[in-house]
Structure 1
Amino acid sequence: SSKHMLELADTMIDLKLPVLLVAPKSKDYSFLEEGDQVMRSETPEDMDWDDPVKNMPEPKKSGRDALFMGLGDVIFPGMLVISAVSFLPEMGPEIDYVFGTMHAGPLTVGLGTLVGGLAGYVALMTQVARGNPQAGLPLLNGGSILGYLIAGIIALGPTALWQDISFF
């Protein structure tokens, strides 16, 4: 589980730092009306610190009023998509669009990266819907990287993905 991430998110919310995306589950939810400790099911003042494990409340079936996702969970996979489209070798047919031309190879890799990230998102939301808070970055980045590698090998070949990188 990612209890330390929940505590970190709770601290960021308390400091009013814009580091979370909030997806309400109902129309009447307001993040602004939530008090402190939004990420906790029980405030620390109400807990028995002598034996906190014994007095932990049973998880509620209703769950939270909103889903929370860190901005890094969105930014890092998005950067990989943009990098794939922008910096991979220009291979494949040219495609005309509003801002000029683009090559089909890097575009295919970018779309594959996006699809991989969405597959990771589906896996993440499946776990969250079951009531298991998860660290989003491993699933989202893992899906994006797999999508990048699979689409890159298919569209450009492994040598184009390597781009003269050497470990020696």
Structure 2
Amino acid sequence: MFLLLVQAISLLLVPPLQSYHLDNAFGNPESVWNSLYYVVLLLLFTGAMLIIVRYKVNWLIQAIMAVAVLSTLVYVLFGLAVLLVPSVDPLIAGGVSVVLSLLLTALLIVYPEWYIIDTVGVLVAAGASALFGISLAILPTIVLLVILAVYDYISVYKTKHMLKLAEGFMDLKMPIMFVMPRRWGYSFMENNKGLPAEGAEREAYFMGLGDAVMPTMLAVSANAFLSAPPLLGFVNVPALGCILGTLVSYVVLMYIVVELKKPQAGLPFLCTGAIAGFLLGCLAAGVRPF
């Protein structure tokens, strides 16, 4: 499951990223204002993408997405290199991560088959979750998740501009999402016709990377900022509660998607499950979350 892979990799990335002081995406990790800054940047980015999609400036979308993917891959592959070979020279690890990131980004552009998209998607989502999760403390992260859950609800069910944005990315065959085929032999490159009409049979299910990143950020933040009993050597009890809560809410979400046969806003489900699981984990561990 892509969601579980993203969560596991992001938690494993926390120590190497912190050891190289890559936990300063925001100035003060305790400030709730960071959440508001994040939302403002997200709104500006979404607005810019909608304008670009509206006027079909395809090369600009591809360029922006390629730079975003490439830069995130460099961080995550560097962290994985340090994690797997702790004694590696940082210059060597950096060089290898840059080369591999360039290759993966080029492959995503030239041959965007579903398994390439999913492989890059897992790495990008894990890297983004780890980088933001270690830079935001618990309270700002929860505030951010609540705001984004409300925003996702509005953008999917009310204004529906998120669906238009998803269609624009899929037309380019370079979507920033996970592709989950329903049958062997499915080809995203050959069968991609945009999001299926309401009630229509699907050849694949699609999940935005943000649906994996946002709840995972809370698990990473819990692991980085809370002193709680560790499990499995790299995850504490509140973070594990967050993971379990996210997975339960994901099952509920997918059941609704299958039954209703139309796109659903993921974050209202996933963020709620993540927060509930986190709070139960704090209760089980006997730690105060704030």
TM-score of the superposed pair, with normalisation by structure 1: 0.69
Shift of the 7–153 alpha-carbon distance from structure 1 to 2, 3 Å rule, reads: same
Deviation (angstroms), 1:96 = 8.1
- Which of the residues 193, 196, 202 maps onto 1:64? 202
Q: Which letter maps to 1:19?
A: I
Q: Please, which runs of 5 or more residues in structure 1 have no aligned partner? A: 42-57, 163-168
Equivalent residue of 2:189, what SS?
Answer: coil
In the aligned structure 2, how far is the partner of 1:30 from the partner of 1:23?
A: 11
Please name the residue that 1:126 is paired with. Answer: 255
Deviation (angstroms), 1:40 = 4.0
Please name the residue that 2:169 is paired with. Answer: 12
Equivalent residue of 1:23, what SS?
Answer: strand
Q: Kindly indicate whether the alpha-carbon contact (under 8 Å) linking 1:108 and 1:151 is maintained by their aligned counterparts in 2.
A: yes
Shift of the 156–72 alpha-carbon distance from structure 1 to 2, 3 Å rule, reads: same
Q: Which letter maps to 1:23?
A: M
Q: Which letter maps to 1:24?
A: P
Q: How is 1:70-81 mapped onto 2 (pairs within 5 angstroms)? A: 70-81=208-219
Q: Kindly indicate whether the alpha-carbon contact (under 8 Å) linking 1:20 and 1:71 is maintained by their aligned counterparts in 2.
A: yes
Q: Kindly indicate whether the alpha-carbon contact (under 8 Å) linking 2:166 and 2:175 is maintained by their aligned counterparts in 1.
A: no
In the aligned structure 1, how far is the partner of 2:243 from the partner of 2:250?
A: 10
Q: How is 1:2-151 mapped onto 2 (pairs within 5 angstroms)? A: 2=157, 3-35=160-192, 37-41=193-197, 59-60=199-200, 63-88=201-226, 90-92=227-229, 97=233, 107-130=236-259, 131-151=261-281
1:102-121 superposed Cα distances (whole Å, 9 cap, x missing partner): 6xxx7111110000000110
Decide which structure has the larger Cα Rg and report it. Answer: 1
Instruction: Point out 4+ residue stretches in structure 1 off by more than 2 angstroms.
Output: 1-7, 15-18, 94-97
In the aligned structure 2, how far is the partner of 1:146 from the partner of 1:16?
A: 36
Equivalent residue of 1:124, what SS?
Answer: helix
In the aligned structure 2, how far is the partner of 1:40 from the partner of 1:74?
A: 22
Q: Kindly indicate whether the alpha-carbon contact (under 8 Å) linking 2:211 and 2:270 is maintained by their aligned counterparts in 1.
A: yes
Tell me the number of residue pairs that the alignment of Structure 1 and Structure 2 aligns. 132
In the aligned structure 2, how far is the partner of 1:87 from the partner of 1:108?
A: 12
Deviation (angstroms), 1:77 = 1.2
Q: Percent identity?
A: 40
| More strand by percentage | 1
Q: Please, which runs of 5 or more residues in structure 2 have no aligned partner? A: 1-155
Q: Which letter maps to 1:87?
A: F
In the aligned structure 1, how far is the partner of 2:280 from the partner of 2:274?
A: 10
In the aligned structure 2, how far is the partner of 1:120 from the partner of 1:96?
A: 23
Q: Which letter maps to 2:251?
A: V
In the aligned structure 1, how far is the partner of 2:243 from the partner of 2:263?
A: 23
Q: Which letter maps to 1:34?
A: N
Deviation (angstroms), 1:59 = 3.1
- Superposed CA RMSD in Å reads 2.3
